[in-house]
């Protein structure tokens, strides 16, 4: 295990992937995909696991140290995990908010130059109540991360945001304008993030590039590339200004889930 106190500059590859069930994706060449991606830190969302459902191959995934957050409200739901070659100074999975902690949606990892959040944002399609829950969750997380920014920390927020930001970020914006995931009220949250000094890294490096990270399992959506870009790496502007963030990417050639991995290249 490499300590994050090592001060020699080096490149890190951060990979975020909603696997839509870790047990399911393990049957679909998961480890081959991870080896190809070669992450220094791998952030997974929607693991759909309880602690006692983890297998040795999940826990003892060398050379990674693993960290987990589980949903306690029901089994087979939500959940996030992080696998890191670099030992964080601190890892937090419970935040004193039972309504969010109970769904196992966030892992915070503190490193020398930044704090990294792996987040599975709620889906608002089920009901008006879940849409409001999603909006409240966004507000809580951004208020929480602002305290770190006020203390001078760079912040990286990654995961499945469950919202496409602009029309370039989904195949059929018009028909989906009244659907949760592309509602104006949800997109406004991402506008507020940018106004607050966060940067959508993929769009920063590739302002006109059309690329998606999620496709419905219906209607041959992935085959037809009728997708949505809803998986992001947002970073605070200082991490770009200081030369920490070098590149961002989406790997459409990795299969096994209805999402594909998204990545960030940093030098620290």
Residues annotated as catalytic are 120, 160, 259
Residue (of 134, 137, 161, 128) closest to 231 by Cα position: 161
Residue ranges at the known binding site: 18, 46, 160, 162, 258-259
Beta-carbon contacts of residue 86 (< 8 Å; ≥ 6 apart): 1, 2, 3, 4, 12, 40, 41, 111
User: How far from the centroid of its chain's Cα atoms is residue 41's Cα?
Assistant: 12
Counts for the chain of helices (H) and strands (E), in that order: 8, 16
Tokens of 163: 């919202």
Contact indicator for 65, 40 with CB cutoff of 8 Å:
no
Q: What single-letter DSSP state applies at residue 122?
A: P
Residue 81 is inside which H or E element, if any? strand 80-84
Distance CA 251, CA 15 (A): 10
Count of residues in the chain: 268
Q: What single-letter DSSP state applies at residue 45?
A: E
Residue ranges at the known binding site for Mg(2+): 18, 46, 160, 162, 258-259
| Relative orientation angle of helices 184-195 and 128-150, to the nearest 10 degrees | 0
Distance CA 170, CA 211 (A): 8
């Amino acid at each position: 295990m490499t300590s994050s106190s090592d001060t020699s500059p080096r490149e890190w590859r951060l990979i975020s992937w909603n696997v839509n069930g870790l047990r399911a994706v393990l049957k679909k060449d998961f480890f081959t995909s991870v080896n190809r991606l070669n992450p220094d830190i791998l952030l997974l969302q929607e693991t759909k696991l309880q602690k006692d459902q983890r297998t040795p191959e999940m826990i003892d995934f060398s050379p990674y140290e693993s960290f987990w957050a589980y949903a306690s409200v029901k089994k087979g739901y939500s959940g996030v995990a992080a696998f890191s070659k670099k030992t964080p100074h601190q890892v937090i999975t419970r935040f004193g908010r039972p309504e969010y902690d109970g769904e196992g949606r966030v892992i915070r990892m503190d490193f020398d130059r930044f704090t990294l959040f792996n987040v599975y944002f709620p889906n608002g399609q089920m009901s008006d109540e879940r849409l409001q829950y999603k909006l409240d969750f966004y507000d809580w997380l951004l208020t929480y991360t602002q305290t770190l920014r006020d203390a001078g920390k760079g912040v990286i927020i990654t995961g499945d945001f469950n919202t496409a930001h602009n029309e370039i970020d989904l195949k059929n914006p018009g028909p989906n304008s009244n659907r949760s995931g592309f509602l104006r009220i949800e997109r406004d949250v991402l506008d507020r993030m940018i106004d607050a000094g966060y940067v959508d890294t993929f769009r920063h490096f590739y302002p006109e590039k059309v690329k998606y990270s999620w496709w419905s399992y219906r209607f041959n959506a992935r085959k037809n590339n009728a997708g949505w870009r809803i998986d992001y790496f947002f970073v605070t502007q200082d991490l770009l200004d200081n030369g920490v963030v070098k590149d961002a990417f989406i790997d459409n050639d990795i299969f096994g889930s209805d999402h594909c991995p998204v990545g960030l290249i940093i030098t620290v």
